[in-house]
Structure 1
Amino acid sequence: MDKKLKDRSDTARERILNRLKGAKQYNNGPTADASWSVRVFPQPDKLLETFTDEFNKVSGQLIVCESKTEIRQHLEGLIVKKGCQKIFCIDDELRSIVPLNASLISQSEFADVEASITRCEFLIARSGSIMVSSAQQSGRLVNVFPPVHIVVASQKQLVLFLEDAVRELKNKYGENLPSQATVITGPSRTADIEKTLVMGAHGPKELILFIHK
């Protein structure tokens, strides 16, 4: 190697190493919490209206109800309209609102499921997204496998941004955070093949959300 080139290389190497050594003093602890004092996106006051607008944009189907009794009534019509006869729901709280015209299937019949009913962790208004986690009684598979995913949530679960949902998730579970948290934004879709949009490619083809007070 040419002596001048070697000297330049050695000098550059030494300069980089010195920078790395000097940087150690700033990296002895955990990464500092991000500061959200400056918001890039607008902060709307009406969370439900904002969520509704964004949820519709990503092809979600939203039904706002006054009570769980009203949800049950809507579910009866929905089951007839969609022709979903095999419903999977293992959430104790939700099983009480499943209408009589629904046929609840067991875990052993899960491969034949046509629709699932679950709860969620939070509703993210700014992106129209739904956060679910493995800590919920329904687990992981019920959110992604059935062709139709029906979610029941309360308006109290509405938050503005994703970071708000993450913060509330930490507050809710403390040191026992779920092993998985997933953000769902509309039904599953892809346009990888010849730029043709296909719904339900990697998950539910329809995402239906019931929000009650």
Structure 2
Amino acid sequence: MAESSRDAVLARIRQSLAQPALLPPQPDFAAPVHPPLASSDAVVAFAESFQRVGGEFYYCESLSHLGAQLTAFQKRKQVGAPYVWEPQLQALLRTAGVAFRADEAEFIEQADWSLTSCEALVARTGSVLVSAATASGRRLSIYPDQHVVLARPSQVVAEIGNALRVAQARFGEQMPSMVSLTTGPSRTADIEKTLVLGAHGPRRLALFLLEDDGAAINEE
């Protein structure tokens, strides 16, 4: 009985070896890595992704609308004037009738929120690509409790790779000392798997998308 079982096993092995091995499927390197975006409109896809990762999204159809939205935001959050160091943003806020702080006085103690521009917005992940190339530097997107971004619909791209190419096209070989993808508020769950916001950066992230009028807002 043992011999016949052994013969049966060997027979199955010989039969398997006699058949050609199945080759693994060949990858299609030309195929896209990700499926299509949930929305055919990249701006809508970004807004959905941005809110899904915890960001607060506001659409502004005009400068007056932006002024009203920022004023309402300030009242809801019960904060003072934002720190704004970029000349282009300062000019827009003056036109919109929004007060801001252009200096660095009491920045450490009073930096409740900041307003900066960005390089690009990523529809796939809801990420905001910021750099240290503007007058905001590194501090305004990292230190304040609440980071507010002002951007245009034309800055929305589909994928992270597209956003990096935008930065590369703008700066060439003179890349800024810091380029960062911000995806939602700063958070961690390292300690006992308890989610903590504001662990390594702003506790809240908001974005005001101002309708395009042909003027860039991230150029000095």
> TM exceeds 0.5?
yes
Q: Over the residues paired in the alignment, what is the CA RMSD in angstroms?
A: 1.7
- Describe how 1:71-90 pairs up with structure 2 within 5 A: 71-90=66-85
Give the Å deviation of 1:82: 0.7
Q: Cα deviations across residues 87-118 of structure 1 (Å, max 9, x unaligned)?
A: 21111121231666745262131102111000
Contact 1:43–1:160 at 8 Å: present in 2 too? no
Moved segments of 4+, more than 3 Å: 98-103
Distance 1:154 1:142 in 2: 19
Aligned residue runs from structure 1 range 166-185, under 5 A: 166-185=164-183
- Pick which of 55-64 and 100-109 moved more: 100-109
Q: Gapped runs of 5+ residues in structure 2?
A: 1-28, 212-220
Number of positions where the alignment pairs a residue of Structure 1 with one of Structure 2: 178
Q: Is the 8 A contact 2:85 2:102 kept in 1?
A: no
SS in 2 for 1:88: coil
Tell me the equivalent position of 1:19: none
* 3-state SS of paired residue (2:168): helix
- Under a length normalisation based on structure 2, what TM-score does the superposition of the two structures give? 0.76
Cross-structure match for 2:105 = 108
Q: In the alignment, which residue of structure 1 is the partner of 2:88?
A: 93
| One-letter amino acid of the structure 1 residue matched with residue 73 of structure 2 | L
In structure 2, distance between residues paired with 1:129 and 1:171: 19
* Structure 1 runs not aligned, ≥5 long: 1-35
Q: Which of these residues, 114, 122, 134, is aligned with residue 124 of structure 1?
A: 122
1:4-34 CA-to-partner distances (Å, cap 9, x unmatched) read: xxxxxxxxxxxxxxxxxxxxxxxxxxxxxxx
Per the TM alignment, residue 73 of structure 1 is displaced from its structure 2 partner at its CA by 1.1
Post-superposition Cα deviations, 1:128-181, rounded to whole Å, max 9, x if no partner, equal 000000112211111010001110000000000011111111111112111210
Deviation at residue 191 of structure 1 after TM alignment: 0.7
Contact 2:86 2:136 in 1 (8 A): yes
1:141 to 127, 139, 142: 139
Question: 1:188, 1:205 within 8 Å by CA — same for their partners in 2?
Answer: yes
Task: Check conservation: 1:120, 1:130, Cα contact below 8 A.
Answer: yes
2:43 paired residue number: 48
Which structure would you say has the larger Rg?
Answer: 2
| 8 Å contact from structure 2 (residues 120, 163) kept in 1 | yes
Q: Distance in 2 between matches of 1:58 and 1:175?
A: 32
Distance between the aligned counterparts of 2:183 and 2:51, measured in 1?
10
Give me the whole-angstrom Cα distance separating, in 2, the residues matched to 1:207 and 1:70.
Answer: 20
Match of 1:210 among 203, 208, 211: 208
Alignment of 1:1-12 (within 5 A): none
Q: Over residues 19-73 of structure 1, what are the superposed CA-to-partner deviations in whole Å (9 max), with x where a residue is unaligned? A: xxxxxxxxxxxxxxxxx84312123331011111111111100001112321111
Aligned letter for 2:103? Answer: S
Task: Give the whole-Å Cα distance in 1 for the aligned partners of 2:161 and 2:87.
Answer: 29
Cα 1:51/1:207, change in 2 over 3 Å: same
